[in-house]
Structure 1
Amino acid sequence: MPPATVPPPPTAETLHQISLLLADLLPSTLSVTSFAARWQVLRSKLGAVQTLTAEINDSPHWSDNPLLPTLLPALLSTLRRTDILCHHCCGEAAGRGKLLMQSDLDMATGWLSKQINDLELLLRSGVLHHSTAIVLSRPNSASSKEELTFFVRDLFARLQIGGLEFKLKALDSLIQLLIEDSKSAMIVAREGDMRCLTSLLDSSGDESVRELAVHAVSLLVAAGDFPRKCVFEEGALGPLLRIIECSSVQVKERAAMAVEFITADHDNAWAISAYGGVPVLIELCKSGSLIAQSYAVGAIRNVSVVEDIRAALAEEGAVPVLIDLLVSGNASAQGKSANCISVLASTSDKIRNLLLQEKGLQKLVQLFYECPVAETVEHVLRAIYSFSDDEMSNRILSESTMFIVQLADLIKLGKNIRLQHIAASLLAKLSISDRNKIVIAGCMGSLVRLMEAVKPDGVQEVAAKALTSLLSVKPNRKELVRDEKSLMRLAQMLDPRFEVLSKKSPVSVVAAIMAGGSHGCRKRLVAAGVHGHLQRLVEMDVVGAKKALQRLSGNRLTSLFSRTWRD
């Protein structure tokens, strides 16, 4: 009795049947005379199928791949239908309805084109050459680049070829990969088919697939510039905006997050108008969840840098919505709204006037008093600074003792140099009364320390301007020179050997101290070594040094002459 033979697996049997059928079908097509042009196209498709199936058969692990049990039976079915059409176009059967036959041939060509594309994709991915093609373990931080690349290619092969179950599992694996290792986004964007992924955002597809695709896209665009660029260039922005209009709360939030990250690139911001996104974002700010509102106002802030979009924001009623978020939004939405208001108020007089009409300045000041979040406070102060160009707004702010004191407290607190910087900028810009200058004299030592800061850019200059403003009243000048630490810092900043800082700012402060000609101030400055430093700075042609030295020396000469006359 011959040994029992093990039946081949179903996939191998299907591939064998395909090979046999192609071996008969291809020669048969050569004798077809009806619809010759269409059969020429079909013959080329059949030849491509024969080449691809032979390549699959030569791949070492093709029988383990979970996609082929779906692909190969569908291909075999198409070939059988093509074989039937071949018989119809030969002999007496050729008299069948011409239009019907043309339609059937075109359909067969379309099916074969799709199946050829799927087979080519599977072969290009390289997954048929790996023994792990049945169940892939998700790469971790210790995985090699090659392992991660293979995993990503396999995921996208399943997204493009597989049915619903394959797509859902592939998307879930992709999401987990991006959550656990954000650095993998670079390889995903480079090796994966971003067009395939963005096509899954289409509203005509399966809802569960679309929801996972939105999640994956939101993680990708949040991971860096390159993934964000790839997703945008494959047309994700339009579908994401449509999803915001008609989806569940969680999906809207993720879609809005993706839109905010995409528009963070100024090269992409203009596209919001092309897709009609301005009213969509404004509506989300009105009616969305707190999380969605934060992302939506962040996207509005991003696109507000585009002049044409600023006009659209005003026309679509964005101004009152932004003002409302200062009061009703969470800390993130409040900060982004304030940031957006800052951009709008500093770039458009028209929108600044609209913001003032909506009592935007008053609500910003109130938020400044109440908000405990440093980042939000920074955005609020920058927005307030944008309003200070307006004469009436400047006067309102300058006359508010509470506001001035709060700015001084921020400077004295010294925990956040960005807050100190913007607070000093406001003190330098406002027309503060002499009485209020005396009230906040306690921040002068902190302003001197701020003059020593190298970053952020411009902080030394604004600290010096704020300080010289406060030194316009006599009590403050006397108080500053009595502060030994501040006086020593000022003298060190003037020392030519101390080359880290510009000399212009400390020179202007000395000139402001000596503006009143106080003998006591002169004496303390000379004792600290300021006179000698100024002499060397004059020799170095430092701007303002000569004037400051004249004031310091002039006061000394006047004092000597007065004493001689009295004697």
Structure 2
Amino acid sequence: MCSLRQAIEVISSLISYSHPIKVFSVKWQLIRNKLEELCSSLTALENCDSIQNPILSGMISAIAASASDCYDLARRCVDLSYNGKLLMQSDLDVMVAKFERHVKNLFGICTTGILTQGFAIVVSRPGVNACKDDMRFYIRDLLTRMKIGDLEMKRQALLNLYDVVVEDDKYVKILVEVGDIVNILVSLLDSVELEIQQEAAKVVAVISGFDSYKSVLIGAGIIGPLIRVLESGSEISKEGAARSLQKLTENSENAWSVSAYGGVTALLKICTSVDSRTALVCPACGILRNLVGVDEIKSFMIEEGAVPALIKLARSKDEAVQLSSIEFLQNIASVDDSVRQLVAREGGIRALVRVFDPKSACSSESREMALRAIENLCFSSTVYIIMLMNYGFMDQLLFFLRNGDVSVQEMALKAAFRLCGKSEETKKAMGDAGFMSELVKFVDAKSFEVREMAAVALSSLVSVPKNRKRFVQDDRNVIFLLQLLDQEEANSGSKKLLISILLSLTSCNSGRKKIASSGYLKNIEKLAEAEVSDAKRLVRKLSTNRFRSILNVIWHS
């Protein structure tokens, strides 16, 4: 009768012997997978007295006999001494089925209680530079404990598995290669033992972070169990499930599965519950954001009250929740005017303006996110722009244009630049608010992009007669632009932008007179002579009867 130790040695030797086999490589890989699983299970049973367990003793003998038969097949494949390919393929298929039965029988025996924490030996975790075989053996051992161990053994195996996959990506690859382990993890998500469910959810969350392994999880039917965890699991389990679903739904093909299992309802319940923690609400918002790309699911979300629920979250004092909810609102309403109207009706625009408010306690990141959402949701409609102005948005934007740090200032400038391209009423409101005196300062910025935006925005504002008059009332504005034009280091792009603004100012009598009498006229004439774009037009604009004789030489040169 074969002992447990002898059976382990026979199987280990057979695994090593089969590796060099070149023919029927796929079949032999399947056989090795089953052998490794058997070896891991038998090793976990090594402290069990097989003589006192006749059923186990008989099983070990049967496994050893199958291994002996497999040796004969391996030898013939190594020597290429088999009678025919089809016959050998059939024999190998039979062998795979035999080892599969042994695995299942061993599982059935051990679940009756033979394998307990008292009997099982502990396989040490491989060292940092361990070979792949040692790492695979360790994973196989953890798999065995998860399949046939008692509650404590399962829990400890899951803890150990989580530790290795978090610390070393190579273990994730091995885990996926050992196919049964993914299926076991999926089944453990439905465990009635919350501790087991929690640890399984944490491991799955790690695996789902790898793009190349997401399909393996989907193929194992992970979506349904994850949704069930969201519905009835512990808070920790829900957080792990939500993180997994957020990663898995980055691929829109998985959106329907989430919806089919009732995921949208479960996610909205999380977002509306006062007891939900930030670590759960944020990924829940992220999943909903990933799902809005499917029109039918988006419509269902809206019917279920997603918009007011997420607007409420946008008012949260928690920065992470604010960011997640604002990003969702931006996505769901970005290309749908009816949803934008709903966001406005439910107070979404006001909520975003409050986040952007410099007097609020919100972080810079939240303000930047709110500003992006305001631009995307509101700048396309005059109605929404009027709402923004009524909520004090113009004053807020001007504040950050004056006082924000570099990144916020640039965002405020971009927003002001976009607003300048809207209605005449918007331009008048910006002129009244004091934007022109701030924009003129950016015309001298080091960044060409900033200079260009400021110049184009300023040119747009001074195209309005009321704004022109306001701008030229301050002599410093006109002189500053002329001084910049006079700088030798100013490049042709900058000169072109400055001339464009000055051209607009010449439409105003007082502006034309101030430019003509400023003392910088000769510089403008030189630019006209040098064929700088629009410089001749500027000179022509400045050519009144009073100055015609002075300027006549240019046009006849």
TM-score, normalization by structure 2: 0.67
Asked whether the equivalents of residues 292 and 331 of structure 2 are also in contact (C-alpha less than 8 Å), the reply is: yes
Please say if 1:284 is aligned against 2:270: yes
State the shift of 1:321 in Å.
0.5
User: Which residue number corresponds to residue 461 of structure 2?
Assistant: 470
Match of 1:410 among 386, 390, 400: 400
User: Which residue number corresponds to residue 214 of structure 1?
Assistant: 201
State the shift of 1:467 in Å.
3.1
Structure 1 CA distance, aligned partners of 2:41 and 2:60? 20
- Taking a change above 3 Å as real, the CA distance of residues 114 and 301 of structure 1, as seen in their structure-2 partners, is same
Structure 2 counterpart SS, 1:312: helix
State the shift of 1:383 in Å.
2.2
User: Which residue number corresponds to residue 250 of structure 1?
Assistant: 236
Match of 2:415 among 392, 404, 423: 423
- CA-to-aligned-CA distance 1:279-316 (integer Å, 9 cap, x gap): 11111101122332222112212222332221111112
State the shift of 1:266 in Å.
3.9
Match of 2:447 among 436, 446, 452: 452
Structure 1 CA distance, aligned partners of 2:207 and 2:35? 34
The residue type equivalent to 2:206 in the other structure is: L
State the shift of 1:138 in Å.
5.8
Please say if 1:154 is aligned against 2:138: yes
- CA-to-aligned-CA distance 1:94-116 (integer Å, 9 cap, x gap): xxxxxxxxxxxxxxx99973434
Structure 1 CA distance, aligned partners of 2:261 and 2:215? 17
Structure 1 CA distance, aligned partners of 2:301 and 2:490? 47
Matches within 5 A, 1:151-550: 151=135, 154-160=138-144, 162-164=148-150, 165-180=152-167, 183-184=169-170, 187=173, 191=177, 193=179, 195-196=182-183, 198-204=185-191, 206-222=193-209, 224-287=210-273, 288-328=276-316, 330-369=318-357, 370-385=360-375, 386-399=377-390, 402-412=392-402, 413-416=404-407, 419-420=411-412, 423-429=415-421, 431-432=425-426, 434=428, 436-438=430-432, 439-445=434-440, 447-448=442-443, 452=447, 463-472=454-463, 473-474=467-468, 475-476=470-471, 479-483=476-480, 487=484, 494-495=491-492, 509=501, 511-516=503-508, 518-521=512-515, 545=533, 548-550=534-536
State the shift of 1:420 in Å.
3.6
Structure 1 CA distance, aligned partners of 2:221 and 2:193? 19
- Taking a change above 3 Å as real, the CA distance of residues 432 and 522 of structure 1, as seen in their structure-2 partners, is farther
Structure 2 CA distance, aligned partners of 1:559 and 1:185? 86
The residue type equivalent to 1:409 in the other structure is: F
- Taking a change above 3 Å as real, the CA distance of residues 518 and 75 of structure 1, as seen in their structure-2 partners, is farther
User: Which residue number corresponds to residue 112 of structure 2?
Assistant: none
Asked whether the equivalents of residues 335 and 376 of structure 1 are also in contact (C-alpha less than 8 Å), the reply is: yes
Asked whether the equivalents of residues 2 and 61 of structure 2 are also in contact (C-alpha less than 8 Å), the reply is: no
- CA-to-aligned-CA distance 1:23-68 (integer Å, 9 cap, x gap): xxxxxxxxxxxxxxxxxxxxxxxxx9xx999988xx9x98994355
- Taking a change above 3 Å as real, the CA distance of residues 219 and 52 of structure 1, as seen in their structure-2 partners, is closer
Asked whether the equivalents of residues 345 and 351 of structure 1 are also in contact (C-alpha less than 8 Å), the reply is: yes
Structure 1 portions without partners, runs of 5+ = 1-7, 19-47, 83-108, 121-132, 539-544
- The size of the alignment, in residue pairs, is 462
State the shift of 1:367 in Å.
2.0
What is the root-mean-square deviation of aligned Cα atoms in Å? 4.8
State the shift of 1:435 in Å.
5.9
State the shift of 1:437 in Å.
2.0
State the shift of 1:332 in Å.
1.3
Percent identity, aligned pairs only?
Answer: 23
- CA-to-aligned-CA distance 1:228-278 (integer Å, 9 cap, x gap): 454344432322111010011222122222222222344444443233311
- CA-to-aligned-CA distance 1:351-405 (integer Å, 9 cap, x gap): 22222221221122122212532222222122222123233221122455x4212
Between stretches 343-352 and 481-490, larger displacement belongs to 481-490
Structure 2 counterpart SS, 1:432: helix
